[in-house]
Amino acid sequence: MPLTLLLACAPDPAPDDVDGLLHWSWTQFELASDEQWVEAATKLPTDGQEGEQSRLVEDEVAHIAWGAESDTELARGMYIANTFSCDLSRLEEILIARDQSVQYEDVYERYDREYTSDLEDFQSGVSSSVAWDVELEGEYVGTAYTERLHGGVRRVEGALIARTWISEPVAFEEGSDWWWPTDVQIEVFAQQDTEIVHLYGIWRELDIGSLSTEDDGLVNLTRGGMRDWDDRTEELCE
């Protein structure tokens, strides 16, 4: 559906299947009502599953600053559904913190976040969402890189929704021919008793020479990293 029509129509309720839910969550981050998001959060799988979701289509990225080098047909989808112990208010503090490298020292060498909407309005409840731009440095399988991304969080009753995307290829260290032009992420966190139910989806194109995201080995490595993030977040929650 073209973006003009997408914006003109009230979004349908979130689908029940994981693939449909991930696509809906990505496209409806801003458009769905709070009530629709609260209902969507009840559909998150709670059985610790992981798998693949279908690839994005061009209309699904028409509302973001999509990189010229990015190609939806080449970005493979992968997800995990997980639970970890945390309170949603504490999780919110973790997600919106300016310097993520303080919290995730083993992930980022440097993390510079600039808010593009009013953080204080979000923290006080005046606004239900906050957005930011980031420049970060890290290592991927021992190779240094610099990444620029856009991200943000939306708050609804009992849930948080986070999205992230890059609009230009990740820059690897000089001499590397690795290629990472596409990374789109959507996350839905819902409070269930003392635990967070987390649905985490990524669409990514990455080529590191001997492996790419078309290889199951690299996809499995990525999903392992997604689970490691949840483990580390659980530690921060404690």
CATH code, 176 = 3.30.530.20
Label residue 11 by pLDDT band (50, 70, 90): confident
Indicate whether 33 pLDDT > 50: yes
In angstroms, what CA-CA distances link 86 with 43, 71, 90, 125?
Answer: 19, 36, 7, 21
The C-alpha atoms of residue 127 and residue 152 are separated, in whole angstroms, by 12
The C-alpha atoms of residue 205 and residue 224 are separated, in whole angstroms, by 17
Other C-beta atoms lying within 10 Å of the C-beta of residue 159 = 21
> What are the tens digits of pLDDT across the range 178-229?
999 999 999 999 999 999 999 999 999 999 999 999 999 999 999 999 999 9
Domain that holds residue 8: 3-237
The C-alpha atoms of residue 169 and residue 39 are separated, in whole angstroms, by 35
Q: At what angle do helices 18-27 and 34-41 cross, to 10 degrees?
A: 150
- Percent of the chain at pLDDT exceeding 90: 89
Report the helix count and the strand count for the chain, using DSSP H and E: 7, 9
pTM of the shown model: 0.94
Question: Domains in the chain: how many in total?
Answer: 1
For strands 171-172 and 50-51, give the pairing. unpaired
